[in-house]
Structure 1
Amino acid sequence: MKEIFKIIISDFLEKEMPEIIEREIKVPLNSNKIISLIGARRTGKTFLFYSAIKKLRKENKNDQIIYINFEDDRLFPLELKDFNLFIEAYYELFPKNRDQTVYLFFDEIQNIENWEKFIRRIDDSLKCKIFITGSSSKFLSKEIATSLRGRTISFEVFPFNFTEYLAFKGIDRNHYSSKNRSKIINALDDYVNHSSFPELLSASDIEKPKILKEYLDLIIYKDLIERYNISNLYLIKYLIKFLLTNTSNPISITKIFNDLKSQGVKVSKNSLYQYIEYLEDAYILFPVKIFSNNVREIQRNPQKIYSLDSGLVDTVSIKNDIGRRFENIIFLELRRKYKNISYLKLKQEIDFCFKDSDKIYLLNSCYQINELTTRNRELNSLVEGMNHLNISQSFLITNSHEEEITIEKKTIFIIPLWKWLLQNN
């Protein structure tokens, strides 16, 4: 195994970094903390590493910067004790670097059991800066919260946000120019209706469906089947299809349970809840619960489901429900900043309820409010919610309408999605 590590290290040092699409996440290069990037596969974690490595190579010798992908088939099977061989291999190749700061980039390190013990040990004993990635929220957060508590700075990585998308397309985000504004609004239509995974942005229309299907299959097999030893492939595929098809909708576990039962599939409701947790752990889907301090009320009410990317929905459904895609984009933008997002259900439903610095915000999503009944429904639900929570402001995100309304001394800001996305960044 030591010789294999030497080959992998040497191969990397000869590798030129690919062209990098700059992201808004900036990886700290000289922090005293361990830097961790967490997110679904293919969201760009590795390329954030490459971007950091490219910058470091300008100021350091190449052999001080090492990248290891723990999904490299040459490293299977790898155990905790083999990490020592990596350290030995590196310093046998570069003994002069024992007194130099070494930058260690470990991709998908969660695949190795007890990896955090190794990371803690080298953080204590070697002169190094450590960077790690993983595609499991629980696997990383659990270890980080125990063995590595206080030692890490974590960043979640999602597909491109709208400002990153505009930058990739070469569109200036200055919306005060009429020409730019038209380009921004046209770009939003593509952004809402298509995938924003980095690789998909430059893929042809023929390639996109194939790439997305490969992504989903990879997540199913690597992050679900293998990680959790799931034996019923039909069940997990059925569940993913059902949930992706119902993106932005409330879902009933009882309905799923009864549908499967009618097909002769044996599964408990508890198992279905567990599988949804697995999907959330892999960052494919995000359940949103009702806003309440009552545990029973939370359990009694359905969860709403949102997906990581609009393109994933296209792999299982031919329907193009613009209202639901629109709402999903809003959720993802909120989720990039806030983990605790709920929906509020009173006489009417409010799509999103979240906290920022202990202040509660309410936000509704509605693609078009041209019809009076639709407009009144959206506004009345927000007024009801503001009265219930004793807050004075809320937001209604639409496709194009902009207005500020005061009702019963409560202010509702109606904002076009493109402007909200730019302001939010």
Structure 2
Amino acid sequence: MIQREYYMKQIRPFINTDLIKVLTGIRRSGKSVMLQLIQEELLSQQVRPDQMISLNFEDLANLPLCQPMALYQWIADKAAAIKGKIYIFLDEIQEVTNWERVINSLRVAFDVDIYLTGSNAKLLSGELSTYLAGRYVQFVIYPFSYQEFILANQLDDTPQAFQKYLLFGGMPFLMNLHFQEGPSRQYLQDMYNSVILKDIVQRNNLRDVDLLERIIGYALSSIGHVFSASNITKYLKSEHRKVSNDTVLNYLNACTTAYLFYKIPRQDLLGKKLLSINEKYYVVDHGLREAVYGHNARDIDQILENIVCLELLRRGYTVTIGKTGNFEVDFIAEKGNRKCYVQVTYLLASPETIEREFRVYKDIKDNYPKYVVSMDELDFSQDGIQHYNIRKFLRLPRDY
């Protein structure tokens, strides 16, 4: 079991506080393993195993506990027999009706340290904001980064290892399949179907699954390209499907809520404002795209961009696309008082390509770090703009 120390460093300061720890992210990204790692951390701090109460609501045996009063009474009975602080771990909590009331009641009634996981971004909206406002902290758990990928598989950082990452992506369970292509593809396809059914269709009461899959297919093919809802409606019209822009946006929002896609807005660097149209969408895991849509090798520019975007999000940056005049910077990453710009391309194969990728920074006069990232092994840094091979960039220290 890989330790995922980056997340543990974030969580440790909140252990044994009365803040509720909420771990969110796409299904099977490793949230359940994170709960196990937290339990191991507590055991190392001399917490007794009998002080821990743990439930996974995807286990059919726990179906009777998905009603709020049944869950509260079951945990209350267990808690009454425990001496000392009680540690509660509830996996896929969104399966419980009115779970927010249960958590708030437990927090009030007992000396508890509570950890939750969920596969829906709306987990922290609605009633939770009312019942637990200011009393929770959220951690988004992503599939393996490239760094985690090579550690988990005991690989050296080589071009061959990166090619393997390009093909399979970072879903943690694949290491159990030893990254065999057939079984790995089948697992990712099954996972995709599970996300579609449980986290998008059922949770949002969507009735037109065929329409949803067409919209997802369009978004997968357009990774890293700006598009609007009207682009999709025109595409669907060409396929004899009449649908409104609002319906397309609702379906895309359901996908982002389930963490299948991340929507990245654009900003005008010269006008200092966010642009309200033509965002970009990136998929949570490029291996999932290969299994469902294919063509990662053909669309290598898009895939490299997707990998860098997810790495920036994974590191806690707020990410936007930068527009400056007629040029566009792939990513502006901001966190606190830190900021950097990142331009991603496949290869700097000619003087014209080098000129194109570096000149996007011409009108940006600030002194924040500016990067060009590609698969080239040679260093093309110039004029204070740093060039990195993508493998090296992905393994840089956490704060650029």
TM-score of the superposed pair, with normalisation by structure 2: 0.89
2:394 partner amino acid: L
2:144 aligned residue: 160
Counting only pairs closer than 5 Å after superposition, residues 242-261 of structure 1 correspond to structure 2 as: 242-261=218-237
Compared with structure 1, are the counterparts of its residues 121 and 418 closer, same or farther at alpha carbon in structure 2 (3 Å cutoff)?
same
Aligned: 1:192 with 2:144: no
2:112 to 128, 131, 134: 128
Counting only pairs closer than 5 Å after superposition, residues 35-50 of structure 1 correspond to structure 2 as: 35-50=21-36
Counting only pairs closer than 5 Å after superposition, residues 380-391 of structure 1 correspond to structure 2 as: 380-384=359-363, 386-387=364-365, 390-391=366-367
Compared with structure 1, are the counterparts of its residues 295 and 112 closer, same or farther at alpha carbon in structure 2 (3 Å cutoff)?
farther
> What's the CA shift for 1:325?
1.1
- Choose 185-194 or 330-339, whichever is displaced more: 185-194
Counting only pairs closer than 5 Å after superposition, residues 13-412 of structure 1 correspond to structure 2 as: 20-24=1-5, 25-26=7-8, 27-28=11-12, 29-57=15-43, 59-76=46-63, 78-91=66-79, 95-97=80-82, 99-171=83-155, 183-203=157-177, 204-292=180-268, 298-299=275-276, 301-319=277-295, 320=297, 321-338=299-316, 340-345=318-323, 346-384=325-363, 386-387=364-365, 390-391=366-367, 393-399=369-375, 400-406=377-383, 411-412=384-385
Compared with structure 1, are the counterparts of its residues 254 and 146 closer, same or farther at alpha carbon in structure 2 (3 Å cutoff)?
same
**Whole-angstrom distance in 1 between the partners of 2:239 and 2:380:** 50
State the structure with more CA Rg.
Answer: 1
**Whole-angstrom distance in 2 between the partners of 1:161 and 1:39:** 14
SS at match of 2:181: coil
1:7 aligned residue: none
Contact 2:23 2:141 in 1 (8 A): yes
Q: C-alpha deviations, 1:114-159, integer Å up to 9, x for none?
A: 3122212211220221110011112225555442222222211000
How many residues in Structure 1 have an aligned counterpart in Structure 2?
384
SS at match of 2:132: coil
Compared with structure 1, are the counterparts of its residues 123 and 184 closer, same or farther at alpha carbon in structure 2 (3 Å cutoff)?
farther
**Whole-angstrom distance in 1 between the partners of 2:75 and 2:225:** 50
Contact 1:360 1:391 in 2 (8 A): no
SS at match of 2:362: helix
1:283 partner amino acid: Y
Unaligned runs of 5+ in 2: none
**Whole-angstrom distance in 1 between the partners of 2:31 and 2:368:** 39
> What's the CA shift for 1:297?
7.2
1:423 aligned residue: 396
Identity %: 25
Contact 1:284 1:307 in 2 (8 A): yes
Contact 1:224 1:230 in 2 (8 A): yes
Compared with structure 1, are the counterparts of its residues 166 and 298 closer, same or farther at alpha carbon in structure 2 (3 Å cutoff)?
same
2:354 partner amino acid: R
**Whole-angstrom distance in 1 between the partners of 2:290 and 2:154:** 26
**Whole-angstrom distance in 2 between the partners of 1:268 and 1:141:** 26
**Whole-angstrom distance in 1 between the partners of 2:127 and 2:337:** 28
Compared with structure 1, are the counterparts of its residues 195 and 32 closer, same or farther at alpha carbon in structure 2 (3 Å cutoff)?
same
**Whole-angstrom distance in 1 between the partners of 2:213 and 2:339:** 37
TM-score of the superposed pair, with normalisation by structure 1: 0.84
Contact 1:368 1:398 in 2 (8 A): yes
**Whole-angstrom distance in 2 between the partners of 1:112 and 1:240:** 28
Contact 1:286 1:305 in 2 (8 A): yes
**Whole-angstrom distance in 1 between the partners of 2:115 and 2:42:** 13
- Choose 103-112 or 65-74, whichever is displaced more: 65-74
Q: Let me know the Cα RMSD of the aligned residues.
A: 2.3
- Choose 69-78 or 124-133, whichever is displaced more: 69-78
**Whole-angstrom distance in 2 between the partners of 1:413 and 1:295:** 24
**Whole-angstrom distance in 2 between the partners of 1:51 and 1:191:** 24
**Whole-angstrom distance in 2 between the partners of 1:22 and 1:313:** 26
Contact 1:338 1:354 in 2 (8 A): no
Contact 1:291 1:353 in 2 (8 A): no
2:139 partner amino acid: F
Contact 2:339 2:369 in 1 (8 A): no
**Whole-angstrom distance in 2 between the partners of 1:113 and 1:318:** 38
> What's the CA shift for 1:88?
4.1
Q: C-alpha deviations, 1:195-248, integer Å up to 9, x for none?
A: 210011331222011100111000001011110100101011111111112222
Compared with structure 1, are the counterparts of its residues 88 and 125 closer, same or farther at alpha carbon in structure 2 (3 Å cutoff)?
closer
**Whole-angstrom distance in 2 between the partners of 1:164 and 1:31:** 28
